[in-house]
Amino acid sequence: MKKLIAGNWKMNGNLGQAEELVSSIAAKIQEQPSIIDSYEFLICPPFLYMPAIKDICAKHGIVFGAQDCSVHEAGAYTGEISAQMIADCGGTYVILGHSERRQYHGETSQLVAQKATAAHGAGLVAVICVGETESDRDAGKENEIVGAQLQASLPEGANAENTVIAYEPVWAIGTGKTASSDDVANMHSFICAQLKEQLADSKNLRILYGGSMKPENAHALLSTPHVDGGLIGGASLKAEQFIGIAVAAEEG
């Protein structure tokens, strides 16, 4: 199974920078084409820039997707983007339930599950994010919180083909702090066990780690058991770092 290296560009850059960044990522892959034998690269730009990166992604074996989608299929939902629209533009993935959406847009796990159902209906792979806050962890409640998020955020029919889990401790996102390898190993094996209980078939369902991943810590994180890739924010905005994460993981 290839590890998934997913870039979450969030609300950064402009059209010119999006084109430049995807070209630089493609050029880096071309410098060492064997990297795509072991890694799948996913880019999630702002919605508006998806068409601008489509051709170059297709040419270089990079997949792309969005950072959110509507629960609705179509209709009078001003400002919303449907899963089908993402698919129409060539997107194959959608990030759902990122902690920034849970925190700033009040998204609940129930809403995330509805969005995931919409994503699956449009043939998209849902990257469902879960993770505890620092105070949850200080209180020793990380498994309880993540377990409850998983229970409520995964829709019926979730499987290894249509769903990826991203474990992102909230306190590690954009802070430069990362969870220790031991903490990541414990949480990923907890998630793995819960998925086994929760889903009819959870075999091969990928579990990513996210939170301040960069080339310097990529080898340790990506060689941790049950870590099947990374969801990368800040470091995905620089081609050298984004591809460098896979290179560092490979070389150690």
Applying CB under 6 A, the residues found at the interface with ligand PGA are 8, 168, 173-174, 210-213, 231-235
CB of 74 to ligand PGA, least distance (A): 28
Answer for the pair 212, 176: CB distance below 8 angstroms, yes or no: yes
Catalytic (active site) residue 168: yes
Nearest to ligand PGA of 147, 210 (CB atom): 210
Nearest to ligand PGA of 10, 226 (CB atom): 10
User: How distant, in Å, are the alpha carbons of 37, 82, 191, 230 from that of 224?
Assistant: 20, 35, 14, 12
CA 193, distance to chain mean position in Å, is: 20
User: How distant, in Å, are the alpha carbons of 77, 96, 158, 196 from that of 201?
Assistant: 35, 21, 9, 7
Per-residue DSSP letter, 226? T
Nearest to ligand PGA of 84, 131 (CB atom): 131
Helix (H) or strand (E) holding 239: helix 239-251
Helix (H, G, I), strand (E, B) or coil at 199: coil
- What totals of helices (H) and strands (E) does the chain contain, helices first? 11, 8
Query: Residue of minimal CB distance from ligand PGA?
Result: 233
CB of 221 to ligand PGA, least distance (A): 11
Catalytic residue among 100, 120, 168, 226: 168
CB of 33 to ligand PGA, least distance (A): 26
CB of 246 to ligand PGA, least distance (A): 15
CA 169, distance to chain mean position in Å, is: 13
Catalytic residue among 40, 60, 98, 107: 98
Nearest to ligand PGA of 147, 233 (CB atom): 233
CB of 133 to ligand PGA, least distance (A): 14
The residues, any chain, with a CB within 8 Å of residue 201's CB and separated by 6 or more, are 159, 160
Nearest to ligand PGA of 146, 199 (CB atom): 146
Helix (H, G, I), strand (E, B) or coil at 43: strand
Tokens of residue 52, six digits:
């601008």
Q: Which residues are part of the catalytic machinery?
A: 98, 168
